[in-house]
Structure 1
Amino acid sequence: MKIYLDNNSSTPLAPEIVHALRHFKPEKSLVQDAQKSVAELIGAQHEEEIIFTRSGSQSNLLAFLTAINFAPQKKHIVASSIEHESSIRILQKLSRIGFEITFVEVDKDGLPDMHKLKNSIRKDTLIVSFTAANGELGILTPFEKICHVVKDTSEAFFHVDGAMMVGKLPLNIKHTNVDLFTISGQKIHAPTGIGALYVRKQYVPFFQKSRKIPPQKIFALGYAANLSNDRNSMIRIKRLRDRLERQILMQIPYAKILFANASNRLPNTLLVSFPDMNGEVILSALADKNIFVATLSVCNSQSHKLSSQIMSMNLPYNQVMGTLRFSLSRYNTEQEIDITSQCLAHVVRKFTHVCP
């Protein structure tokens, strides 16, 4: 049995979609039907506000280009310090062509300082961009509160990278003032190579040019949106996450749950730290048992590298290097959770004295 618990990196293609694609025949209403499904998933008011892209990363890029197109005279951008790497790369490129970037730091729970955010916004601020949820850390950002700050103090665009939040919690974008919202197909069991960008209705004409996206990809994203728009499944996933957490703490009392007391945890994600242990060693041992999870670091024999998001949190190095991330999906089961906790306990006891 293969147990896959790294869904924040990428979700496997839904078996229902695999079956549906075998019988796929493009229909005239395909794009509109898929737009409607995605709009319903995120709570958008108009289906035409959904623009299909080739990935979540392309959606992020288009969000910035939209703002630049409508307000080319503004050269200041505000973003959080825990943005997705694709957004960080875009911002780095923009800084090289004359844009000034202000990063808003977050606290130990991943929450931005609202006072600092407000003070960062200027008259020449083009766009404020925040992630709705950081998949690496498993924490949520209060993007609706941030939106209020942005709109109350400026005329800047507000972009939310919602890739990690979509399908995990109910959304109602139409009741916010969010201008742009990123969706990634590979985070909700659609194929790779498909994403979407929610664009507030008045900015939609900017996107009239076709991007020639394969119709089967659009169909698959619409299908995945329908599957993901299931509140009972969202609740069940959180219960499985909590079950895994309880079992790990019972079997490994010295394990530490990161962000355990935070109110802004992503409901499918669990970060467990084994201080002074090497997370890569544990990960490899679990993989040998066909259990696939993730660490918070990219390790090799010569160096231990941390992502920019992790570094911005100022977490203790020995804690981070011994942390595993478990991220669940609608296809995980109680049996998989029970097997995982038992195998993890066995592996950790075996490698207790192996340090990074």
Structure 2
Amino acid sequence: MLYFDHCASTPPYEEVVQTMLEVMKSVYANPSSLHREGTQADKLIERSRTLLSEQLQTGSGNWIFTSGGTESNNMAIKGAARQYAARGKHLITTQIEHASVYEAFAQLEEEGFRVTYLPVDHTGHVNVEQLEKALTDETILVSVMHVNNEIGTIQPIEQIGRLLKRFPRIMFHVDAVQSISKQPIKVSEWGIDLLTGSAHKLRGPRGVGFLYVREGVVLHPLLSGGSQENGYRAGTQNVPAIVGSAKALRMSMERMEERERRLSDLKRQLIQHIKGISELALNGAEPCASHIVHFSYPGMKPEVVIHMLEQHGIMASTKSACSSKDDKPSRVLLALSASREHATSGVRISLGDEHTEKDIDALAAALVDIVKQLKPLERRLT
């Protein structure tokens, strides 16, 4: 089997699995308990926070452990908006955010907040000048993802952060779920107040995410009932998963530069193959993450392509995993001014550590065979 769905989830490092198993066996006390065993569990959590700060060079500030990227995004966006609503009720995001961001803003609109959804150009990038023009005296939060989870475009986070430093009353949130350990991130230098990550996107366990909260920033908690996670997230922490996520982050960060070079080469190889298949159309453009290739097959349902790839022993996806089971056009592709036919036929290939040139050639050969089989059926299967 060839697994090309790393944007949805990644295979955990064996070392992470073993570490979590050891923690589950030996450190099972509640980290909020006052006895020695509870203190030991709490120390593991605090060491994990320190490791995140060291690896991502965030310096002072809090790392909050959550259940994943979706909860972290909701905590950052709703928490900041509700906490600072007295300053103003205008929020800014983009049209191509992950559903956990996009729908969080939609919920805040129902609470009386006004949201500006910035457009992107045909390549999938935000214009910083347009963002500046959208700012008002009532703006309290700007949320822009670093790497788009569907087409892989890299947003100008550094330039946005530089702009927002002139407006200290505005919080800057970045969804970095698809970029941590894959793209350089300079949290403090770029003026990021809130940063979201997810362990299972970087070869850690599912069910654990993390949220950086800059020192001095206060969030309105989503959950109440306990003082865990500095009062931001009530509930007993998942110590083995937290420790595993910190270890996975360290291991992934150590491999980042080498991974970027290798995956960039594999991506170029795959793109050349796809360009040779006239029925397929690539989506997005540079700057773009090295681990994502996205294309459309206009006139064909993407799930047909996905299932035929599976028959070749290849696993891929359509949209983000959170939205892959609905048959609506891709909101991201529509934002790029794609036609409905184009936007309903997207396929995402996401690369990982295990892939080789041979794997790319096998994927390309499968695509050629699939298109050959489907060509007579185009538009009859839409």
TM-score by length of 1: 0.89
* One-letter amino acid matched to 2:283: L
Identify, as 1 or 2, the structure richer in strand.
Answer: 1
* One-letter amino acid matched to 2:372: R
Task: Look up the match of 1:219.
Answer: 243
Gapped regions of structure 2 (runs ≥ 5): 28-39, 221-228
Gapped regions of structure 1 (runs ≥ 5): none
Deviating more after overlay: 176-185 vs 317-326: 317-326
SS at match of 1:140: coil
Aligned-residue offset at 1:299:
8.5
Task: Look up the match of 1:203.
Answer: 217
TM-score by length of 2: 0.84
SS at match of 2:250: helix
Matched, 1:62 2:75: yes
Q: In structure 1, what is the Cα distance between the partners aligned to 2:266 and 2:46?
A: 35
Deviating more after overlay: 326-335 vs 35-44: 35-44
Aligned-residue offset at 1:106:
0.8
Task: Look up the match of 2:260.
Answer: 234
* One-letter amino acid matched to 1:20: T
Q: In structure 2, what is the Cα distance between the partners aligned to 1:288 and 1:109?
A: 32
Task: Look up the match of 1:267.
Answer: 290
* One-letter amino acid matched to 1:255: L
Q: In structure 2, what is the Cα distance between the partners aligned to 1:318 and 1:54?
A: 36
Aligned-residue offset at 1:41:
3.6
Paired residue for 1:255, among 277, 280, 292? 280
Aligned residues of 2:318 and 2:324 also touching (Cα < 8 A): no
SS at match of 2:166: helix
Aligned pair in 2 of structure 1 residues 49, 243: CA closer, same or farther (>3 Å)?
same
Deviations for 1:301-346, whole angstroms, at most 9, x for unmatched residues?
xx94123333222212333334321101123233322221222211
SS at match of 1:310: helix
SS at match of 1:101: strand
Q: In structure 2, what is the Cα distance between the partners aligned to 1:161 and 1:285?
A: 32
Task: Look up the match of 2:97.
Answer: 83
Deviations for 1:77-115, whole angstroms, at most 9, x for unmatched residues?
111111110112211111111111111111111122323
Q: In structure 2, what is the Cα distance between the partners aligned to 1:336 and 1:197?
A: 35
Task: Look up the match of 1:170.
Answer: 184
* One-letter amino acid matched to 1:130: V
Aligned pair in 2 of structure 1 residues 304, 202: CA closer, same or farther (>3 Å)?
closer
SS at match of 1:272: strand
SS at match of 1:11: coil
Task: Look up the match of 2:332.
Answer: 309
Alignment root-mean-square deviation, CA: 2.4
Aligned-residue offset at 1:75:
1.2
Aligned-residue offset at 1:69:
5.5
Aligned pair in 2 of structure 1 residues 30, 328: CA closer, same or farther (>3 Å)?
same
Aligned residues of 1:296 and 1:324 also touching (Cα < 8 A): yes
Q: In structure 1, what is the Cα distance between the partners aligned to 2:298 and 2:158?
A: 35
Aligned pair in 2 of structure 1 residues 205, 93: CA closer, same or farther (>3 Å)?
closer
Stretches of 4+ moved more than 6 A in 1?
A: 297-300
Aligned-residue offset at 1:254:
5.0
* One-letter amino acid matched to 2:309: L
Deviating more after overlay: 133-142 vs 5-14: 5-14
Task: Look up the match of 1:119.
Answer: 133
Aligned residues of 1:277 and 1:353 also touching (Cα < 8 A): no
Q: In structure 2, what is the Cα distance between the partners aligned to 1:290 and 1:222?
A: 32
Aligned pair in 2 of structure 1 residues 263, 121: CA closer, same or farther (>3 Å)?
same
Aligned residues of 2:123 and 2:283 also touching (Cα < 8 A): no
Task: Look up the match of 2:377.
Answer: 354
Aligned-residue offset at 1:225:
0.2
Deviations for 1:43-80, whole angstroms, at most 9, x for unmatched residues?
3123x532211111111122124424542312111111
Aligned pair in 2 of structure 1 residues 161, 125: CA closer, same or farther (>3 Å)?
same
Aligned-residue offset at 1:153:
4.4
Aligned residues of 1:8 and 1:327 also touching (Cα < 8 A): yes
Aligned-residue offset at 1:166:
1.0
Matched, 1:246 2:272: yes
Aligned-residue offset at 1:234:
2.5
Aligned pair in 2 of structure 1 residues 16, 253: CA closer, same or farther (>3 Å)?
farther
Q: In structure 1, what is the Cα distance between the partners aligned to 2:91 and 2:218?
A: 22
SS at match of 1:348: helix
SS at match of 1:173: coil
Aligned pair in 2 of structure 1 residues 352, 75: CA closer, same or farther (>3 Å)?
same
Aligned-residue offset at 1:200:
0.8
Task: Look up the match of 1:4.
Answer: 3
Aligned residues of 1:296 and 1:310 also touching (Cα < 8 A): no
Percent same amino acid among aligned pairs? 26
Aligned residues of 1:13 and 1:190 also touching (Cα < 8 A): yes
Aligned pair in 2 of structure 1 residues 105, 327: CA closer, same or farther (>3 Å)?
same
Aligned-residue offset at 1:253:
4.9
Q: In structure 2, what is the Cα distance between the partners aligned to 1:193 and 1:178?
A: 24
Task: Look up the match of 1:194.
Answer: 208
Aligned pair in 2 of structure 1 residues 19, 145: CA closer, same or farther (>3 Å)?
same
Deviations for 1:7-50, whole angstroms, at most 9, x for unmatched residues?
1122233333223323234455312332233223433123x532
